[in-house]
Amino acid sequence: MTPQKRDEILQVGALESTLATELAAKYETLSLPDGGDRAAFLAEHAATVRVIVTNGRPGVDAKLIAALPNLGAIVNNGVGYDSIDVEAARKHGVGVSNTPDVLTDTVADTALGLTLMTLRGFGSADRYVRAGRWARDGAFPYTRDLNGLQVGVLGLGRIGSAIAKRLLAFDCAIAYHNRHEIADSPYRYAASPLELAESVDVLVVAAAGGPHTEKLVSAEVLAALGPEGYLINIARGSVVDQDALIDLLASGGLAGAGLDVFVDEPNVPARLRELDNVVLLPHVGSATARTRRAMALLTLRNLESYFTSGDLVTPVLRPRK
């Protein structure tokens, strides 16, 4: 493979450390600056950039895509691509790739662990022991069994299906909502997020992010879970009405929540951090060494494939040739 020129690959945003290391070992790249330096940078380099490599944030918008006349592909290190303007990419013939499958099991494991932590109060129980309250105040309060509950999965794609499979081991009855019912699915279909929430004890959000799913889990959907219901979100913070969620958690309108994602990461509202009926994780759904390396290698495979064949290994949108 002919080595790529330094100015053909543009990094947008800070790359995950494993990917940054693997990319630096094979390529020299440019990094898109923030702020006022961007216009001067693009004036110098825009015409030579062929590929963008990104982790998702701060995103690749229509303005940036239009400013790069020879851009052919956006290679995203992650399964979610909601921060990329795919319609703008389509308009300009730019391909988009992501990293499906390699993180499915790890994220599903996170969802299961987060569900157990939330219902059983394991995080609170840990803090209870550390604060010396076991000896001082006696036994920790009773919590909720996961076994045998009705669980709704919002978004029965690869990750949602893997979550549902794990929950079957707990004898949970699974229902789901997608935009379209899945033929031959063994799980009960709910025609709307509201119908799903009304019928389950736990709602697990595994839907894709983006404008089409923003606040899909609305205040009405959250209220339908009721004071004994739980929300688990390992998808995107934007899918849930975060303010409504905080209000319900604080008022007792919802029993608890387990969150790995937030609206404005890494900024988590103080009101949410102060609640003890919510488990908060710093977006670690895929954060294991094995999974992050697999994601990085698949990202590089997409990059190398584009340079050698003009196509992508795992395209969300194929480049126009």
State residue 57's pLDDT score: 83
Mind listing the domains of the chain with CATH numbers? Answer: 6-102+289-317 (3.40.50.720), 104-280 (3.40.50.720)
List, by residue number, the catalytic residues. Answer: 236, 265, 283
Q: How far apart are CA 167 and CA 124, in angstroms?
A: 23
Q: How far apart are CA 89 and CA 281, in angstroms?
A: 32
Longest dimension (CA), the chain: 70
| DSSP H helices in 93-151 | 104-120, 122-130, 133-137
Q: How far apart are CA 86 and CA 61, in angstroms?
A: 9
Provide the residue-wise pLDDT of the chain in tens; the chain has 321 residues.
444 555 699 999 999 999 999 999 999 899 999 877 888 999 999 999 999 999 988 899 999 999 999 999 999 999 999 999 999 999 999 999 999 999 999 999 999 999 999 999 999 999 999 999 999 999 999 999 999 999 999 999 999 999 999 999 999 999 999 999 999 999 999 999 999 999 999 999 999 998 999 999 999 999 999 999 999 999 999 999 999 999 999 999 999 999 999 999 999 999 999 999 999 999 999 999 999 999 999 999 999 999 999 999 999 999 997
Q: How many CB atoms lie within 10 A of CB 81?
A: 24
Tokens for 88, please give them: 């703008």
Handedness of CA 267, 105, 213, 240 (dihedral sign): negative
* Contacting residues for 133 by C-beta, under 8 A, at least 6 apart: none
State residue 7's pLDDT score: 65
* Contacting residues for 163 by C-beta, under 8 A, at least 6 apart: 108, 111, 112, 153, 204, 206
State residue 58's pLDDT score: 87
Q: How far apart are CA 199 and CA 302, in angstroms?
A: 42
**Residue 73 near residue 95 (C-beta atoms within 8 A):** yes
CB environment 146-162: b (16+ within 10 A), e (fewer): beebbbbbbbbbbbbbb
**Residue 218 near residue 248 (C-beta atoms within 8 A):** no
Number of residues that this document lists for the chain: 321
Tell me the Cα Rg of the chain.
22
Q: Which amino acid is at 19?
A: L
Q: How many CB atoms lie within 10 A of CB 232?
A: 28
State residue 1's pLDDT score: 44
